[in-house]
Structure 1
Amino acid sequence: MTAVSPTANFDFNPMVSPHREDPNPYYQQLHQERPVCFSDTLGAWMVSRYDDLMTVLHDTDTYSSSNAIPSIWNNPPEVVAVFEEAGCVPEGATIVNTDEPKHLPLRKVLDYAFSGRRIRTLTPMMHSTLAELIGAFENDGHADLLSQYTDPYIQRIVSAAFGIESEDVDKVQSWTNDQVLLWNPLTPIDGKVEAARNLVEYEKYIADLIEDRRHNPRQDFITDMVHGGDDFPPVSYPDIQYIFRGLRVAGHDTTRDTLTSTLLNMLSNRELWDEALTNPRSIPKIIEETLRKDAPHRGLMRVTTRDTTLGGVELPSGAALLLLFGAGNRDAAKFECPEVMNPSRDNVLDHLAFGNGIHKCPGATLARTEVRVAIETITKRFPQLHLPEGYEPTYIASYFFRGLESLPVQW
């Protein structure tokens, strides 16, 4: 057992290279030398090994989720002043940030909202949206699958699930980007002040949606929260605001990045593309292996509720932890040859891309369905699709997510 000083750390900054482009060598170094270590940049202890991550995820008494994602109110005074002057609603609960007993009632809402019944109602829209997007570029001989296919597709589907009108998709996405920016502790303050002003408008937009659904219920997520269901009561106004905003982020970025990364893996490993063409039933395992190998979410936070020991490191009560799911998915002690894309591995479903335990992503089934349908569609329409010669992937600068900046293809 060792007490590691915060000054003895391997720092991590996912916004810049080399961690931005390829964090996996760094993850391997953490596994071997400092599986639990402090990052000055992030102000948190990073947890990288699979078994340690599972310990944290399942010991909810010792590791609270109250700090899983940052509060937008925990920003510099200039940012908070914008919210105060506008009379913004105080921080509400989200499923990601709640512990039991408050977690379970919120979980019931989300399980209902993203049930198989709801997914089946969205499936025809998935097919029609993909057909429309493909129709716009199919005669060009080339496309950027991120900007012309995966991003607009996921935006439209998740927006429909939430109850966002088609004409509002772009502005809601812009507000969603502002939400992510305000969560990011590495964002310059000027950008945060502007994002805060935009988020005031987002709050008003959601308030209007809530009021409309009180009188005009529909088959969408906002209606579920406003009216409740057989197993859960209506959700409070502050909680609706924060659940809506938080899950709108999660429902878009992670699913888009999973889809784009899966396509890249298939195009980089041609045997996977050919296998999907001849045997579409192989596609789900290809998706799962991509979720393991290229986790779209870097991880979530936890905070210790008492003094404890993790991975041989003594942690005091109140210590912030960053759970590096992407690192856990690359742990050679759990996944043999973790750098290899192998959809046939026996434990392909054991990845942590959707978390684990009580906070495992409630939208996982919807995300898997969106990705599967999009891959089935593109492989059938463009069997000869390929990457341009010399293409090298580049990745977005993001505190939370790992996703491609573009995915150019030709046919």
Structure 2
Amino acid sequence: MSSTVSTSAPSTCPRDFNPMVAPDRDDPNPFYADCRDTEPVRFSATLGAWLVTRYDDLRTVVEDPATYSSRNAIPSIWNNPPEVVKVFEDAGCTPEGATIVNTDEPEHAPLRRTLEHAFGGRRIRAVQPLMKRKADELIDAFTADGSADLLSQYADPFVQAVVSAVFGIPEDEVDLVQDWTDDQVLLWNPLAPTDGKVDAARRMVEYERYIAALIEDRRANPREDFISDMVHGDGDAFPPMSYSDIQYVFRGLRVAGHDTTRDTLTSTLLAMLTHRRWWEEAITNPRIIPRLAEETLRRDAPHRGLMRVTTRDTRLGGVDLPAGSALLLLFGSGNRDERTFPEPDLLDPDRPNVRDHLAFGHGIHRCPGATLARTEVRFAVEALTGRLPGLALQPGWEPTYIASYFFRGLEELRVSWPTAS
């Protein structure tokens, strides 16, 4: 297949990419490899976008925000079928505000400063006692059983507790907010059925009212949390956000802070238990855990990628792209590009360039919560290796992955361990 194509007659791959169904749902890597080898910038009719699959091309895009705008990085929930939009209109919902992911400069910089404060070292240190306490509490709940699903019984509630504490969500409302967070992801998914989106939109009306109540409470009673940061700002460091911006930044970051960290944690555990030598080494040498998590981020990126749109005619990977071309940046593919990461399928925590991966993005839109996510994974893995060293994958269990447009994560992680008789 030619490596140079024209946008006037988009080429499509022998089979189109669809992350919602097999085979791409469980293992997109063969498709990614084919793209990188034969047509690294390839048009997907299913997604209506050019797929960017090589590492160097991905770096070119994220390092040039003037040519590749982020304004379409994630879909607007208002850009949905008329039946869905009508639900929002009838309820008088707030029009789409700014989000850090979809904002270009100069609007991006003040949002970035707010998030860097919210997810900075001081707040991460403050939440570390909660990480240890929550990990121990969750392990205590299933230790005597001899088996568990580490996704539903450990990774998911652990990450929810931590990110909710940072945001300022009361502990008894975490599950409620997570349900709304799942609705947000559904409304972003262009491949999801309309009926389900209408139901989600109705629930999102309640979510908006919930966030509005949090805003009013923090306006009167500021606390040491993310929503207070957005409501009040911090003097000259960053200004307060508008009501609509708080609504949409809160919703978007609540998704990002949960799904990607949860999936990184379960993927790291799966990699360590599949390649047992690394689990055994982590038991005696916990300092290797951050490197194992980093290599898992490279090898099994929890986020498929984000969108960009060209602001002018340009050329990428041998393809002429006119202004207005939509691109899907497949970071998971770039992370397995053998041109940058030799033997990309190998789990190698000593890989010299492991931190060059794109799992957290790159450039001005690099994930501001990356340090928090890394810290959560380290605490959660270290708690398990320390308390359940005999833990192993359940015999006969095989990994399956969620049907998701944006994220790649396990549906469950079944493990067992010896218990006292």
Q: Which TM-score band (shorter chain)?
A: over 0.9
1:21-40 superposed matches below 5 A: 21-40=26-45
1:360 maps to 2:366:
yes
Q: Secondary structure at the match of 1:291?
A: helix
Q: Secondary structure at the match of 2:30?
A: helix
Q: Secondary structure at the match of 1:232?
A: coil
Report which stretch shifted further, 287-296 or 226-235.
226-235
1:341 maps to 2:347:
yes
Q: Secondary structure at the match of 1:149?
A: helix
1:137-148 superposed matches below 5 A: 137-148=142-153
1:60 maps to 2:70:
no
Q: Secondary structure at the match of 2:400?
A: coil
**Residue of structure 1 equivalent to 2:196:** 191
1:278 is displaced (CA, Å) by: 1.1
C-alpha distance in structure 2 between counterparts of 1:389 and 1:176, whole Å: 33
1:204-353 superposed matches below 5 A: 204-230=209-235, 231-353=237-359
Name stretches of at least 5 consecutive residues in structure 2 with no aligned partner.
none
1:6 maps to 2:10:
yes
C-alpha distance in structure 2 between counterparts of 1:153 and 1:332, whole Å: 34
Q: Secondary structure at the match of 1:95?
A: coil
C-alpha distance in structure 1 between counterparts of 2:360 and 2:248, whole Å: 20
Q: CA RMSD in A?
A: 0.8
The one-letter code of the counterpart of 2:224 is Q
Is 2:12–2:44's contact at 8 Å kept on the other side of the alignment?
no
**Residue of structure 2 equivalent to 1:42:** 47
**Residue of structure 2 equivalent to 1:397:** 403
1:342-385 deviation digits (Å, cap 9, x = unpaired): 11111010000000000000000000000000011000000111
1:391 is displaced (CA, Å) by: 1.9
C-alpha distance in structure 2 between counterparts of 1:193 and 1:3, whole Å: 38
Q: Secondary structure at the match of 1:327?
A: helix
1:274 is displaced (CA, Å) by: 1.1
1:388 is displaced (CA, Å) by: 1.4
1:275-321 deviation digits (Å, cap 9, x = unpaired): 11111111111000000000000000000001111000011110100
Q: Secondary structure at the match of 2:50?
A: strand
**Residue of structure 2 equivalent to 1:90:** 95
C-alpha distance in structure 2 between counterparts of 1:271 and 1:391, whole Å: 19
Q: Secondary structure at the match of 1:129?
A: helix
The one-letter code of the counterpart of 2:391 is L
1:174 maps to 2:165:
no
C-alpha distance in structure 2 between counterparts of 1:157 and 1:242, whole Å: 20
C-alpha distance in structure 2 between counterparts of 1:329 and 1:170, whole Å: 33
- TM-score, structure 1 normalization: 0.99
1:102 maps to 2:107:
yes
1:7 is displaced (CA, Å) by: 4.6
Q: Secondary structure at the match of 1:139?
A: helix
The one-letter code of the counterpart of 1:268 is T
C-alpha distance in structure 2 between counterparts of 1:193 and 1:410, whole Å: 40
1:261-284 deviation digits (Å, cap 9, x = unpaired): 000000001110011111111111
- TM-score, structure 2 normalization: 0.97
Q: 2:56 aligns with which of 51, 57, 82?
A: 51
The alignment of Structure 1 onto Structure 2 pairs a total of residues equal to 411
1:122 is displaced (CA, Å) by: 0.4
Report which stretch shifted further, 5-14 or 130-139.
5-14
1:332 is displaced (CA, Å) by: 0.5
Q: Secondary structure at the match of 1:209?
A: helix
1:148 is displaced (CA, Å) by: 0.4
Return structure 1 stretches of 4+ with deviation > 3 angstroms.
7-10
C-alpha distance in structure 2 between counterparts of 1:49 and 1:2, whole Å: 16
The one-letter code of the counterpart of 2:81 is P
1:6 is displaced (CA, Å) by: 2.0
**Residue of structure 2 equivalent to 1:387:** 393
1:34 is displaced (CA, Å) by: 1.0
The one-letter code of the counterpart of 1:276 is A
C-alpha distance in structure 2 between counterparts of 1:168 and 1:40, whole Å: 41
1:11-42 deviation digits (Å, cap 9, x = unpaired): 11000000001000110000001100111111
C-alpha distance in structure 2 between counterparts of 1:131 and 1:384, whole Å: 17
C-alpha distance in structure 1 between counterparts of 2:336 and 2:240, whole Å: 41
